[in-house]
Amino acid sequence: MYKVVSLFSGCGGADQGIVGNFMFNNKKYNRLPFELVYATDIDQKALNSHMKNFECEKVVCKDICETGSEEIPECDIVVGGFPCQSFSTVNPTKDPFDDRANLYKQMVRVVKDKQPKVFIAENVKGMMTLHKGQIFERIIKAFEEVGYTTYTKLFNAADYGVPQRRERVIIVGIRNDLNDIMEYSFPKETNKNNWVPLSVAVPELAIEQEKYYFSEKAVQGMKNAKNNMKRGLYQDLNKPCLTGTSHLAKVSLNSRDPVLLVDPNKELYRRFTPLEAARIQSFPDEFEFAGSETDAYRQIGNAIPPVMFWHISNSIKKYLEMVETAEQKEAI
């Protein structure tokens, strides 16, 4: 088993993908040969969810800036979706040089000190183009300076069987000595021309729980809004959903948040339930979220889609196996 350190782990979307052994949309995602030995985040509630769902040797709620590399065990893989708010196109006014934007340096530090075979970093699409790409170039250079060859790709989760159009940058770093043996290739899209529809996550538009419906006042406010505002972005069940965010508990009809139109004649709109939101992210139904519904929405919206990350992790598995085979042949 390859040992995995999970930084900025949250509730464990990436970790579900790298471990595998789950069902989604009637498909089995097999167990992968990765073992979680360390997971850390500053959100205790998210880590409570993590502990409900994974067997991990050590789970630590601590600021990564205050965590010494000696506290982190030796590992084969480091995984991390460092905080993305400063890079997000949803929050274009955020300072790209604030403390959160610089948290990638902490992941670089851990990778430098632990020297895993591979690291996998994830972030939002906006990171690639912010400040004319200077931020992205800085991040790539930092990882390469500590001994890694980097591979980058803009992923759309919908291309890999997730019922959501969610674009994320994936950076895979291969330690140079391994890259000298063999180069890495990202997994091919499995659903490029066959996107999974939202109906997989939302089998019924009308539900009994009234708390998920928008009030008449909210609907009227949407109707009175300026014409140029993005209003009532209700989703087509026959297509993947728009990107879900961490504030799904407080979605608005006068925003870019995806919602559901239950009855156009009665002007009935509603938000997604936590279970539906989790399915949109491709979490298995049995995944448990700790805390309140608001906590669950935040954890879900901040997560990496497990199904997409499973495909990435499976490609890493195949790569490491091929490198080991090549090393064995070389030794003969």
Catalytic (active-site) positions? 84
With H, G, I as helix, E, B as strand and everything else as coil, classify residue 176: helix
| Contact in structure between 156 and 307 (CB atoms under 8 Å) | no
> What residues contact residue 212 under an 8 Å CB cut-off, 6+ apart?
270, 271, 272, 273
Q: Which residue, chain included where needed, has tokens 């000298």?
A: 180
- The DSSP output letter for 75 is -
Cα-Cα end-to-end distance for the chain: 24
| Contact in structure between 242 and 235 (CB atoms under 8 Å) | yes
In a 13 Å sphere around the CA of 250, the CA atoms on its Cβ side amount to 5
User: Alpha-carbon distance 264 to 259, whole Å?
Assistant: 13
